[in-house]
Structure 1
Amino acid sequence: MSSTPASERLHSRDSLSKEALAAIKKVFKREQGGPSKCRICGNQLKVDKFSNLKRHMQNLHQREYAEILVASGSNIEEMKIASFAPVTFDQNFLAECCVKMVTVGGLPFGVLERPGIADLLGFRIQRQTVLHSISLTVEAFREKIIDELKGQIICVKLDTVTRAGQSVVTVFSQLLRAGKFEMRTLAAYDLDFATPAEEMKAKVIETLGDFGVDASQIYAITTDNGINYPIATQLVYNAKRDALLSVDNGISFDDEDVGFSGETDQLEAGDYLEGNTKEEDALSVITHAIDEGVICAANAFHCCAHDAIRSLKLKKQLDEIRIVVNYLRTEELRKLFVRNHLSIPKLEPEIRWNSVFSMLSQLIDQKLFINELMDENDEPMLTAEHWTFIEKFVEAFDPFHSVTHTLQEEIMTMGDFYLLWLECLLRIEELANNYIAKALIAALNSKQEHLFESRFFLAALYFDPRINYGGSELLSEEHKCIAIDQILKLWEKIRHTESIEVSAHAENGSSNSCSTNFRLVEAMLRKKHSLKDLGRSAVEKKLKELALQPRISAESNVLVHWEQRRNSEPELYKLAQIVLSVPCTQNTAERAFSALGFVLSNRRLKLSKMTLSDMVFVKLNHDLFQQVEIDYMKSRSNYTP
């Protein structure tokens, strides 16, 4: 038996007899000055090499290839290779795989043209072919999402993530269906913090329109913390409200009918990002928007942390510690850390508290080793006062770190967030002798007042029997009244949306067994039945009864609770699905950052804006591959040998 690897023999002329070589060549007709054409299937091979002819036979014409080997008396090793089950490709499946590889998998386009992949397939897949398939995927995904959002009242969230100097703004929709969050990426486009608010507004409105989302379908919009985002969001509200008011639909609107849940806080001069306006009119718009909305839950924790650090003026201590850490990272000492199987100390920027927490936590873990190094050197060192500060900082911020990690990883309701908030507050209150903890407690209590100024936050808590129950002291009577008023406004929005659906159904009604057209009768019956169950007074009564319900455990799942009441309380259930769906975590931002990291790798820094947007869109909605069938062959494509 030959010692030559089978993988080498597979592409070698020497492993075939002269008779086999000649027989394989006869299968192909070579056009003068052109490529070889298979006489069996009619496909043309772009590269006229014998290895390609042979591979074409092995992959597509196994029976004929085996017959050639038998007739030519080829050696037993080549017969075994031919007997392997060949890899065959359905063109549509191959196109989908290529799209997944470059979007979901993050592979560069050039991979598909490299010799290894080209040899495996027997032909090369051009970059433009894959780009065309990505466009078809975007089109199919968009149609699916439009169908999912049709007639639904949704929440919208805007996030921005940056990699390699490129910022991508993502527009997400979020809703609750059957007790589960459904999040979709509606768009991802290349904008940045300095993009004018008017341009952002136009993009958001255009995106919502592309997905058939009407103004009456938006319950709340949560934005990123860039200065121009709340301005743009307010402009979107104004535009949408004006559009609604221009139509006599029987609904009155004020500035709070479409929700604003901005991830912004009162900003200081030093908080402005380069390129953003600092004019007074911009500040007034931001303040107005903040007063009307709810501060994003996840961002509220970060604001509390930075408020506490500023109030204690900890910059001096942190700067001194960074000097020592910088010294520990010198080449000589780095080798000592590596030699002792320890991580090299991190030198984190002072911009984010969680980066500082990570740096100080690592110092505590390596305290004994660091002190030994300090005893042997006369360079800057950490004193007992420094270590006391480090330990108190880590002790106080540890509950914060746990909570923010949860907010980044999970999708949750406002009620879940508030229970996390209380748990964090109670844990910090146990640190009676920690002065940093006291500053955090003060910041949490101050920020909680801002949270309770939001109608959307209060409405969500009102629908949570872990928080709103008979005898509860977590919501005041004033808070309950505000929540009920907000929920009743939402009920009017639901009635308006359903009346539109009734009209649409009446216009597009299907034929019946009788020759008479009952279009008007059907519309009247559907409308009466719909509005009969949606009476404002009846719903208001049911809402007030929620404040008298028994408490359920804080460990309970509020979404499961409302699923169990779906049939017994259909009106309240419908409201709960919307009120509880307001985004309050950084999960979308984490997903967008991860997607951008995959798509915008170091070898893809020159992607066009359109390609980048399409690839992030597909990456973030990749689960739709399992739900849609895409005909990649409906227009000219090249996924054949």
Structure 2
Amino acid sequence: MNTLTSYGMTLDQVFSMVVDNGANMLAAVRKLKEELVMLSLREDDDSEENFESNDTLTASLCEVFRERLNLIRCAAHTLQLAVLDVVNKSNDSIKEITEIAKKCNNVKYTTNFGHHNATYPPTWCQTRWGGIYVMISSFLKQKQFFEQLAEQFAELDLSSHWEFIESYAEAFKPVYICSKNLQGSHVSLSDFYIAWLIAIGEVRRFHKNPLAMKLYETLQSRLSKLRLSQAFRMALYLDPRLNFVNSAIFNGKEKELIQGFITETWNHICRLNNTDDNAASSTTTSSSSDAMDANDGYITELFGGSIAAEIDTNQSAFKLQLKALDIEPRQKHNFDVWKHWIKRKSSHPELYAVANVVFATPSSQVSVERAFSALALVLSNQRTCLKEETLANIMIIKLNKDAFDQILPILYKWKDVATSVATEPL
């Protein structure tokens, strides 16, 4: 709350999205949702008797608040779990190949590596499966060299593992590429979904590879679980690469639910944008509205009938544009969705506002992990006396340097500053 206040923000302005796979975080979000429902019940009805008996109200509130606190499993971590579903780090072949990779660093093999200009196979980190793929790929690329080396040093013999090495490198290469793509500065939910689908398509090509077939199945099942969040579905719905005319990504009922969530998000944005000026303008027009009501009542008394309800043209236009997304042409997989919505800022202002929120949601914790690493570099053992405010300012600059080119020109009126400095007496 203190951090939000320091930036002049309120809780109403926060679109809460937890990207995590930790059991503690999953439980925390679930409990927060329960607390939110219980709090709403207490605020709406102080009667303990009604509170205990109103099951229907509880169910409806659970539905309303179900997606106010969103949780999506980290895409990068989920991808790693999919890999470990097929070949775990404790796999016997992985262990033995890793031991040989470590032995290669022994000084007695240095002459052989130097003479053949070969590279040492890297050992991998326990927290990153990609290191295993890099190690195995290194062996495979230098297969001829290691076969010759094994003739001289029997302890480096990989003859019983070459089939596994070839299968692993072939099956997991698409997933490794996908993992690298997810490490960008910002990967939206729909961009991650496209990258994952491409990886699945590539893995499916290796139908004779036993590891690839198992990997294909687990990638499919893991992806289906990731799609359970309405916020995730909303991102897919606003992406013309996935939602287009005759697209089968969602059925009719799912589309209605997604459209309702998008509408609710837009309504929330509208409530935030209502200013005191709008309230003042409504007050000044109230007298004329009353006069119109009196005249309408008089005419109704003479001729009967009733006044038709006033149509909210903005709301109608929004709903039409929202449903029209289903009949737009499909775009290529490398289509820039963000630029697509920037171009629609004037023609689809409401959907553009929602898209701003949706596509700002990250698909993984990579940016957070990168921030932790940056903090470790700033708050070093030699800089432990930094004040909290100073540290925060340094981190803001370090983590947002890509935005400076856009921000700096509008922070000051540079021409006015330059003129005042030039005319100031010495």
Query: When the two structures are superposed, what TM-score results if normalisation uses the length of structure 1?
Result: 0.51
Residues 626 and 498 (structure 1), Cα distance of their counterparts in 2 relative to 1, 3 Å cut? closer
Q: SS of the counterpart of 2:161? A: helix
- Inter-partner Cα distance in structure 2 for 1:565 and 1:540: 16
Higher helix proportion, which one?
2
RMSD between aligned residues: 3.5
* Match runs of 1:84-99 below 5 Å: none
Report how far residue 496 of structure 1 moved. 2.1
1:216 is aligned to: 12
Report how far residue 463 of structure 1 moved. 1.1
- Inter-partner Cα distance in structure 2 for 1:563 and 1:524: 40
2:49 is aligned to: none
- Inter-partner Cα distance in structure 1 for 2:16 and 2:38: 17
Q: 1:391 aligns with which of 166, 169, 181?
A: 166
* Match runs of 1:185-224 below 5 Å: 205-224=1-20
Q: Percent identity?
A: 28
Residues 302 and 521 (structure 1), Cα distance of their counterparts in 2 relative to 1, 3 Å cut? farther
Query: 1:220 corresponds to which letter in structure 2?
Result: S
Residues 519 and 542 (structure 1), Cα distance of their counterparts in 2 relative to 1, 3 Å cut? closer
- Inter-partner Cα distance in structure 2 for 1:333 and 1:491: 65
Report how far residue 613 of structure 1 moved. 5.0
Q: SS of the counterpart of 1:547? A: helix
Structure with larger RCO (C-alpha < 8 A, sep 6+): 1
Query: 2:206 corresponds to which letter in structure 1?
Result: L
2:86 is aligned to: 308
Residues 594 and 211 (structure 1), Cα distance of their counterparts in 2 relative to 1, 3 Å cut? same
2:134 is aligned to: 358
1:548 is aligned to: 327
For residues 323-364 of structure 1, what are the alpha-carbon distances to aligned partners after superposition, in whole Å with 9 as ceiling and x for unaligned?
212221222224542454433222224443211111111112
CA contact (8 A) 1:220 1:582 kept: no
1:378 is aligned to: 154
Q: SS of the counterpart of 1:222? A: strand
* Match runs of 1:200-279 below 5 Å: 205-233=1-29, 254-261=64-71
Report how far residue 521 of structure 1 moved. 2.9
- Inter-partner Cα distance in structure 2 for 1:342 and 1:575: 53
Residues 480 and 340 (structure 1), Cα distance of their counterparts in 2 relative to 1, 3 Å cut? same
CA contact (8 A) 1:323 1:380 kept: no
- Inter-partner Cα distance in structure 2 for 1:258 and 1:524: 39
1:620 is aligned to: 399
- Inter-partner Cα distance in structure 1 for 2:338 and 2:41: 34
1:52 is aligned to: none
Residues 605 and 226 (structure 1), Cα distance of their counterparts in 2 relative to 1, 3 Å cut? farther
Query: 2:284 corresponds to which letter in structure 1?
Result: V
Query: 1:540 corresponds to which letter in structure 2?
Result: K
Q: Are 2:74 and 1:296 aligned?
A: yes
1:323 is aligned to: 99
CA contact (8 A) 2:19 2:363 kept: no
Q: SS of the counterpart of 1:553? A: coil
Q: 1:604 aligns with which of 352, 363, 382?
A: 382
CA contact (8 A) 1:495 1:534 kept: no
For residues 286-332 of structure 1, what are the alpha-carbon distances to aligned partners after superposition, in whole Å with 9 as ceiling and x for unaligned?
xxxxxxxx32333332221122224xx86111111122122212222
Larger radius of gyration: 1
* Match runs of 1:15-164 below 5 Å: none
Report how far residue 469 of structure 1 moved. 1.3
- Inter-partner Cα distance in structure 2 for 1:358 and 1:415: 27
CA contact (8 A) 2:86 2:211 kept: yes
Q: SS of the counterpart of 1:408? A: coil
For residues 181-237 of structure 1, what are the alpha-carbon distances to aligned partners after superposition, in whole Å with 9 as ceiling and x for unaligned?
xxxxxxxxxxxxxxxxxxxxxxxx443343233222222323344444445555666
CA contact (8 A) 1:223 1:233 kept: no
1:430 is aligned to: 205
Residues 363 and 212 (structure 1), Cα distance of their counterparts in 2 relative to 1, 3 Å cut? same
5+ residue gaps, structure 1, are 1-204, 262-293, 510-517, 526-530, 630-641
- Inter-partner Cα distance in structure 2 for 1:208 and 1:241: 24
1:592 is aligned to: 371
CA contact (8 A) 2:121 2:138 kept: yes
1:23 is aligned to: none
- Inter-partner Cα distance in structure 1 for 2:220 and 2:287: 53
Give aligned pairs, total.
369
Residues 616 and 578 (structure 1), Cα distance of their counterparts in 2 relative to 1, 3 Å cut? closer
Query: 1:333 corresponds to which letter in structure 2?
Result: Y
Query: 1:496 corresponds to which letter in structure 2?
Result: R
Residues 547 and 255 (structure 1), Cα distance of their counterparts in 2 relative to 1, 3 Å cut? same
Q: 1:521 aligns with which of 257, 279, 284?
A: 284
Q: Are 2:189 and 1:414 aligned?
A: yes
- Inter-partner Cα distance in structure 2 for 1:522 and 1:376: 95
- Inter-partner Cα distance in structure 1 for 2:74 and 2:176: 17
CA contact (8 A) 2:29 2:69 kept: no
Query: 1:582 corresponds to which letter in structure 2?
Result: T
- Inter-partner Cα distance in structure 1 for 2:36 and 2:14: 10
- Inter-partner Cα distance in structure 1 for 2:116 and 2:391: 44
